[in-house]
Amino acid sequence: MYLNISPFRLYKTLAPRQRSGRNSMAPKPTKNKTPSVDPNGIFTGMSVFLVENGVQNRRLQIWKQKLVQMGATIEERLSKKVTHVFAMDLEALLQQIDRERLARFKGPSLPYSPPDLNKNITEIFGKLINIYRALGDDRRSFSYYKAIPVIEKLPFKIESMEQVKGLPGIGKSMLDHIQEIITTGKLSKLEHFETDEKVRTISLFGEVWGIGPATALKLYEKGHRTLDDLKNEDTLTNSQKIGLKYFDDIKTRIPRHEAQEMELLLQKVGEDILPGVIILCGGSYRRGKASCGDLDVVITHPDGKSHIGFLSRYVKRLKDMKFLREDLVFTNHSEEVT
């Protein structure tokens, strides 16, 4: 067996894929009508056992219904027929399945990232995150930030706001936005922002690394309207100038396979400088995303102290190799922690 892990984690067994039809054990929708089953659904052939620990009841009901609609069979107990086990996390899994049984799982542990079937919604919410952040409205920005991963992980395309009512991070206003998007294909709030020159300009400047809402507003009030306008702005800090210079590069997503290659290189260089050092990439890469905005690197050492003084030597070596080009921020205080 091998383990596939996601925020609603999927543990796949060695049992052969078995074709199955409807599952009478799956919950019925509210209209007392059995949901239609897609014979070519993405879960066709799966026999799924759901670990319910830690799963909100509404989310659990949605998963059961959609799994069945998309071809899976829900098993009420873990048996030889089960091909996949879904759990919120490893802790929840171990509460129901002991380590001895898990030890029989064989093969690599691979992160599983479900397809984002609702990009029409998440892309609009992503734009609103950047706009509100640039305007200094962190509360609204964070509300969209919380909603996106919930929507991204859904194994079905949203066709009605009723399908996501009650899910974490999806309140009434968010439901209204979702309904407008799936009905019209757009969101009037975003269109308003994108046609407002001030909002559009401040949002653009806020995407430059190091430029916050207050600075973006000052630049707008000085008459700047484009990134080219900023190239001759003498009040920009060195970090802001670097953010402007590499604006397109910083915004480009890193494909997962490149991130994997970078992690291996970072680990090898670190080991050459300090044997035994532990270097791991975290963030969206560790969560199994198909691409990353950047790489968050965690550095420590088993003895808890040998890493002190390591960072400056490490950065210098990476610069000598031309792996790193610039410092946006560099401080020595981080060398004192693990």
Alpha-carbon distances of 70 from 8, 44, 56, 83, 272, rounded to whole Å:
17, 6, 21, 15, 49
C-alpha–C-alpha distance, residues 2 and 17, integer Å: 14
**In this structure, what are the phi and psi dihedrals at residue 250, rounded to the nearest 5 degrees?**
-65, -35
User: Residues with Cβ < 8 Å from 99, sequence gap 6 or more?
Assistant: none
Q: Pseudo-torsion of CA 265, 269, 275, 279, nearest 10°?
A: -50
Place of tokens 């009723």: 162
SS3 298: strand
DSSP characters for 153-211? T-SS---SGGGTTT-TT--HHHHHHHHHHHHHSS-HHHHHHHH-HHHHHHHHHHTSTT-
List beta partners, residue 5: 111
The residue from 177, 224, 301, 307 that is catalytic is 177
Please write down the HEC assignment for all residues of 318-336. Answer: HHHCCCCCCCCCCCCHHHH
Is 177 designated active site? Answer: yes
Strands (E), the chain: 2-5, 9-12, 47-50, 73-75, 84-87, 109-111, 254-255, 278-281, 291-292, 297-300
Alpha-carbon distances of 245 from 54, 220, 227, 231, 329, rounded to whole Å:
46, 19, 10, 9, 15
Q: Which of 329, 321, 327, 269 is nearest to 299 (CA)?
A: 269
Residues with catalytic annotation?
177
